[in-house]
Structure 1
């Protein structure tokens, strides 16, 4: 989608990375009129990709909020989802849970070596986070990070292995361990949002101990 930034694609991309938004915010972010934004949203709603809901805040008028539907989320593919889930199921049924665990651990160790090679040499924490975010973004996780008064927040707006992680949550467990190893012993890494727990995104709070 980054290679074809049509008006519709830009709306979908924004709702994926920023979450549900009101019409005025969408128009402002895309630098178009509210009527132009409404046209794009209604077009996407007609295609089943977005939907709106009404939210009341205080005494003001109820606000219409737009978000992606399940079909809209599907525009960001889960890499080889069906095949991966079948392989997980086959290994578990034919070789057992311990074998599946060993396969996922070996895959995690391969990933860790790659990340350590590309990230571990950076002396400053923020540089290590930036490098890690860059790698994960290239892998399809739609990553960004922000610095605030609590430290850093690493945000993954998409999970390209969501089906596999749903079938076997060892993937998520090893992901957290990998981040901790790459960023260093003097750094605390906590998952604060989790797609598998119903959140819109996965997010990790990172701070120096």
Structure 2
């Protein structure tokens, strides 16, 4: 979900996660580990270490602290090759962890949209969601258009824009669905509690993505509904004609 932006993950995280009085270097490193889990989860400690240039034992120490704080959780890895010994654990961010990442006055925003729905009805909420999506589309259109007409290239441009605004966005190729495509993943939603109250926001955002990349998209998961990442499948084999804005 996209409303506002706050790219500095560590600023809020240090205030909410980690023991008091720890060295600032440790706190900053823990911020980076939490951000990596948010961006790429499910992810193993070894993958985090490789991404951040840290040692696996050091990463596990930070993960243990984040686990103790309730900011992350682990589960047995279910994909990829399994060697001897204990199966690798994969890590994802919990609701507590997302709360430690930047948010935008959730309580007031939720009250506002509830009031809007109660006083003006569902049509007003839908209009609000569409207006937000239109502004999103207008904000990114020029940058995405520089990527040309190929949906895959347009997705890459969109991901770059989303990452710049602090949404921990990544793109992952997928080829096991019978249709070539990519998954656009958003590992952080600053307003996921508002989106939980107003799912129309997620729907309108997906429609904006469809128009921006020039392909029909399918929203597979959202943070607002309890998933660990917002995931959108975008086919890359048969681009559609973009709607006229």
- In 2: Cα distance, 1:199 partner to 1:102 partner: 26
1:59-96 per-residue CA deviation (whole Å, 9 max, x = no partner) reads 95443634433322222233231121111011112222
Q: How does 1:106-117 map to 2 (within 5 A)?
A: 106-117=131-142
Q: 1:172 to 1:68 in 2, by over 3 A?
A: closer
- In 1: Cα distance, 2:216 partner to 2:134 partner: 20
Q: How does 1:91-130 map to 2 (within 5 A)?
A: 91-120=116-145, 122-125=147-150, 126-130=152-156
Q: How does 1:58-97 map to 2 (within 5 A)?
A: 60-63=84-87, 65=89, 66-97=91-122
Q: Which residue of 1 aligns with 2:237?
A: 208
Provide the aligned C-alpha RMSD in A: 3.0
Asked whether 1:49 is paired with 2:71, we answer yes
- In 1: Cα distance, 2:78 partner to 2:147 partner: 47
Secondary structure of the residue aligned to 2:165 is helix
TM-score of the two chains, using structure 2 as the length reference: 0.70
- In 1: Cα distance, 2:156 partner to 2:76 partner: 37
Q: 1:32 to 1:82 in 2, by over 3 A?
A: same
Q: 1:78 to 1:29 in 2, by over 3 A?
A: same
Query: If each structure's strand is expressed as a fraction of its own residues, which one has the higher value?
Result: 1
Unaligned runs of 5+ residues in structure 2 are 1-7, 12-24, 239-245
- In 1: Cα distance, 2:231 partner to 2:92 partner: 19
Q: 1:41 to 1:103 in 2, by over 3 A?
A: closer
- In 1: Cα distance, 2:63 partner to 2:199 partner: 35
1:166-187 per-residue CA deviation (whole Å, 9 max, x = no partner) reads 1111111111111111222xx2
Q: Which residue of 1 aligns with 2:30?
A: 8
Q: 1:39 to 1:3 in 2, by over 3 A?
A: closer
TM-score of the two chains, using structure 1 as the length reference: 0.80
